[in-house]
Amino acid sequence: MMRALVVYESMYGNTQRIAQAIADGLSTHLKTGVVEVGTAPRVLPPDVGLVVVGGPTHAFGMSRPASRQDAQRRVKVPQVSQGIGQREWIADVVVEPARVVAATFCTKIGAPRFFWGSAARRARRLLEARGVTVLDAKSFFVGFKPPEDALYAGEEARAQLWGDQLGEQYVAAHTGHLHAGDWSEAHLAG
The Cα–Cα gap between 72 and 165 comes to 34
Q: What pLDDT is recorded for position 107? A: 87
Q: Are 98 and 48 in contact (CB under 8 A)?
A: no
In this structure, which topology does domain 3-188 adopt according to CATH?
Rossmann fold (3.40.50)
Q: Are 55 and 18 in contact (CB under 8 A)?
A: no
Contacts of 132 (CB under 8 A, 6+ apart): 95, 97, 100, 101, 102
pLDDT tens for residues 50-65?
A: 999 998 885 566 665 6
- Among 8, 129, 23, smallest CA distance to 62 is for 8
Q: Measured in Å, how far apart are the chain's first and last C-alpha atoms?
A: 27
CB count within 10 Å of CB 159 equals 25
Instruction: Note the maximum CA span of the chain.
Output: 50
Q: Are 35 and 42 in contact (CB under 8 A)?
A: no
> Average pLDDT by consecutive 10-residue portion of the chain (190 residues)?
90 88 97 93 93 82 61 63 78 87 88 67 90 92 69 92 95 66 40
Kind of pairing, strands 3-8 and 133-142?
unpaired
Residue-range domain boundaries for the chain:
3-188
pLDDT tens for residues 156-190?
A: 999 999 999 999 999 988 776 544 444 443 333 33
3-state DSSP assignment of residue 30:
coil
